[in-house]
A and B are shown apart, each in its own frame.
Chain A
Amino acid sequence: MDIENIGFETINLGHGSGGELTRDLLDKIIFKTFSNPYLDQKHDGSIVKIEGEIAISTDSFVITPIFFKGGNIGELAVYGTVNDVAMCGAIPKYLSLAFIIEEGLKVSEFITVVQSIKKAADESGVLIITGDTKVVERGKGDKIFINTTGFGTMHPKANISVHNIKEGDKILVNGFIAQHGMAIMSEREGLEFESTIESDSTNLNFLVNDLLDEFGEKIKLFRDPTRGGLGTVLHEIANDISKGVFLKEAFIPLEKQVAAACEMLGLDPMYVANEGVFLMIVDPSIETEVLALMRKHTKGKNAALVGEITSEHPKKVVMESLIGGKRIVSPLVGEQLPRIC
């Protein structure tokens, strides 16, 4: 898109007033980018047809910086919500999209964000069907906040529920953990690691869909361990089902440079945020097939078994450590990392 044609370089309060400038912003950037039959109705809302049970998930994206290695806030806002819908065992279809822009945001940056949203939505196979744009005074926001709500239809074979989890069920993840959190940290805090760490932000819905097609209700649970990391999610699960989680440190996929960065900062990768990662709890009978399927998929190349559900230590996460012996993975109190999504 050509900035010359937009006619302004930064976004100001007028763009949120609802008047001429707002229309300008919407027409020239948003509608132009996302044009589709539903959005083009230009109603107060969108009228869509969805059959059967639906899954809805909403999330607000607040992140500093808005651009980082491996992504930006725009694609995160799409992938985050798409993945949340997918974790319910649903096929994401539509997204709502709302911006809160801080006065002074460069139009060029806004355009980049919008284009990333478009690209991510296309990649995930979802349509943006309704939205909102507000502008707040300088100092009342942080460049840009985005809220998305996702709508998806339930996968016919899905039966996702913590209540289905039994002793002996296997815990798998689709790839390397802790990358996103460390990438954001390095970008935001200007921290320097031996090598660049990129966010793994991506959509997981197609992989999830394939898994459900193949294994249906033998999959007990999908979860994306975003904020709080793998450790926090596993604690939640252990508490919800009053069973124990037993992990093997040696099995947990962790890239060397991410491990080194965590070590340098005294962080436990188990508590570092993820974006393109999900964990699943499955019936032990399908463990190898699930792994084989995931490893064939681009988003599950590094899939691994990390542990299993046990009745031995209810509500506790215990890890067999690399140096031998088992350690208790204690729940995170307070935040190990500053708030990111």
Chain B
Amino acid sequence: MIKTYKISISGQVQGVGFRPYVYNLAHQFLIKGTVSNNEVGVIIFISGEKSNSENFYQKLISFPPPVSKIQQSSIKEIEVIYFNDFKIIPSEKGGQLNLPLTPDFAICDTCKTEIKNPKNTRYNYPFTTCVNCGPRWAITQTFPFERNNTSIHKFTMCKPCLEEYTNPSNRRFHSQTNTCKTCGIDLFLIDSEGKTIETSSENLFKKTAKLLLEGKIIAIKNTSGYLLCCNAENSEVIQQLRTKKNRLNKPFAVLFPSLKHLENEIELNQQQIGSLTSSESPINIISTKNYIGNLALNKIAPRLNQLGVLLPYTGILQLIANQLSFPIVATSGNIHGSPIISKNNEALEKLQHVADYFLQHNLTIEHPQDDSVVKFSKKFQQKILFRRSRGYAPNYLNIKINSEEKILAMGAHLKSTIAFYPNENLYVSQYLGNLDNYDVYNQFCKTSENFIQLFEQQPQVILVDKHPLYQSTQYGKELAVKYHSKLIAIQHHKAHFTAILGEYNLFEEQVLGVVFDGTGYGDDTHIWGGEFFSYENKSIKRIGYLENFDWLLGDKMAKEPRISLFALASEEMKPILEEKFSPSELKNYAYLKSKNKLKTSSVGRLFDAVASLLNITDINSYEGEAAILLENSILGYNLKDCTLYCEVTSEGFSGKEILKNCYKDLQHGISKEDIIYNFLFTLASTILKFATEKGFQKIAFSGGVFQNTTLVDMLIELAPKEIKLYFHKELSPNDENISFGQIMYYLNIK
């Protein structure tokens, strides 16, 4: 007997080839009906025998298309409908958008093979995509993900493309981003004067590769924004790029032509390979300890024994890579702290004095995104996100929220993101950057407004950080006036804590929160950053912290690790301070310290103090340099040889005591490396002891300090069996998670 079923599927199911997949599956099962996208996902009506229909459903949800992610699915019998065949019916905008947006996908292997094959029609066509790959969020104008809602819309499919699009057996059946050389996006190479040098796809990539080999800097317009590229084996041109980009020491990422090439030069583990070749294709930070290639490492990543690497993840990068016999530097196309550039005229204007040539195309990028960055800890392969952007944004899928209110969270300041809850899904934007920069600020405002417009939902609640000087706080206030929303300020470290509680849904548990970072505005108006919180029963309490010390000289303290050393140093370290400061600095700072009222519990500054004490760095040339160099000064560790630098009290622990013991060891001729091990070991043991003494069995970690993978490894290794540790996995531990944390706080804390 024929029965009819309605199947609803939600999750990341649009722009991922779901409907064509269903279509073909239905044909295999000889099932009749329809499939379409709607505002909540994919909706399927099928008519057939009961068992066959159920088998079809099981097969579909157990083996969905490769880049889709099903969050929820249901099958329900309805009144019988008789269908003649199985059809994909065009989606109609029936209501407000209520499904995850689709992130950008790295080019798939099949498309890669096609563009490499001289016999294929898409040979050398860089914008080759299929239902499984290509840009999505980067080109999204509105929803649902249909061609006419994206910036590819302006390219009309030619006959052969349209044939692919309408042929159920073709792998580009219903591929919204389908284009080819004839109908598609134009690519052209121009010089810094704007003069066209090359347009033929036959020569473009050869020419680009040749210029790179000759030591030129090329701004390449990718599908998510501009990249600045140069030969990574040529230290001269890398130095040029540093000077022109105003980027003294901050490491550059390196794009390898192929996985094989990369593996020939550096040893990778399975996690790293998996991550590098995933549909997100982030930059992976890997150790260069046993590196054997020709990279100009001391120019690419000065003083570091690690390197960010990535593989070609778009057609353009792949086609250039195919012509390369050497890796290239691939860094975001911008000037010092500005957002990644995505417009042609802007690129020419702002990068004119940086790049020698521009490889441009005429596809509009709606949502510029930087490359995402991950690192796996060495010993336990704990994955840590350093930057969550292309490939991950703008969804956060791992959560179910039930709230009537529409909530917009403005995040932090230096590593800003926005989180929005307009429907049943939660959206966390890509990393947007430092809001002191006016262009970043504009991008931030634009992204907020864009979210509001895209979902056609005005925020009823706006969440901001308690810090009165964050630009995000100020903009949140403006929006709250504009939309008549409730405005709520949430303490920075509590938001960090609820971010990690939210990632693992620990709101029914009793948890110790350990939030270590650089700075945040505390409830007591002092600067926090080394916090122990208890969570229980919808309530957070600050139950311990790093003993307060002086916060001196405003923002200068965060830029100059030597000032943290000054703030924490004891009398006996005077000779060291005298080496690091001029006599008048010492005199002035001593006076300011004697009068100072602003206190801090920042563990970030404790890291700085240790880095300065050990002469690793006194003045940062980029944000977080001291902490990165500190971790980099060590290779492996043996916990048995580590000694403890401080006692745990019921209130927390003391940075002064730690520093004093570092100094003592330094005087006794203990090596720098060993002192760093001891320091990290001390932090790890202190956390675990504190948890044990207070009777916690679950510890949740957040804050930038937990980007230190050695500390993370030590914690995992030292933790007794009965204690369970939680580290961020889908979000970064740094301030990028604040917007998400603010929403979690608002929804879960009394």
Chain A residues within CB distance 8 Å of chain B: 189-194, 264-267, 313, 318, 323-328, 330, 333, 336
Contact = CB atoms under 8 A, between A and B. Distances in A.
A326 B441 CA distance: 10
Q: Specify which of A194, A267, A324 lies most central, judged by the most chain B CB atoms within 10 Å of its CB.
A: A324
Contact of B556 (A266, A323, A324, A328): A266
A305 B553 CA distance: 30
Contacts of B246: 323-324
B337 A190 contact: no
B525 to A, nearest CB: 10
A323 B336 contact: yes
Contacts of A324: 246, 335-336
B553 A313 contact: no
The 3 A-B residue pairs with the shortest CB-CB distance, nearest first, are A266-B556, A266-B553, A326-B438
B585 A325 contact: no
A265 B557 CA distance: 10
Contacts of B338: 325
Contacts of A336: 554
Contact of B439 (A194, A265, A326): A326
B96 interface: no
Given A194-B584, A264-B585, A264-B588, A318 B553 contact: no
Contact of A325 (B336, B435, B474, B556): B336
B723 interface: no
B142 to A, nearest CB: 27
A106 B495 CA distance: 57
25 contacts: A189-B588, A189-B591, A189-B592, A191-B591, A192-B584, A192-B587, A265-B588, A266-B554, A266-B556, A266-B557, A267-B554, A318-B438, A323-B246, A324-B335, A324-B336, A325-B335, A325-B338, A326-B438, A328-B435, A328-B437, A328-B438, A328-B441, A330-B436, A330-B469, A336-B554
Contact of B584 (A193, A313, A326, A333): A193
B437 A326 contact: yes
Interface in B47-90: none
Nearest to A327: B436
B337 A325 contact: yes
Contacts of A267: 554
Interface residues of B, number: 28
A330 B469 CA distance: 7
Contacts of B592: 189, 265
Interface string B623-635: 0000000000000
Contacts of A328: 435-438, 441, 471
A78 B553 CA distance: 33
Interface in B537-592: 552-557, 584-585, 587-588, 591-592
A285 B438 CA distance: 28
B469 A333 contact: yes
B720 interface: no
B468 interface: yes
Contact of B438 (A192, A266, A313): A313
A242 to B, nearest CB: 13
Interface string B590-602: 0110010000000
Contacts of A326: 437-439
B556 A190 contact: no
Given A264-B584, A323-B336, A324-B246, 10 more contacts: A191-B591, A192-B587, A265-B588, A266-B557, A313-B438, A328-B435, A328-B436, A328-B441, A330-B469, A333-B469
Nearest to B563: A266
A313 B335 CA distance: 21
A187 B587 CA distance: 14
Q: Specify which of A313, A318, A330, A333 lies most central, judged by the most chain B CB atoms within 10 Å of its CB.
A: A330
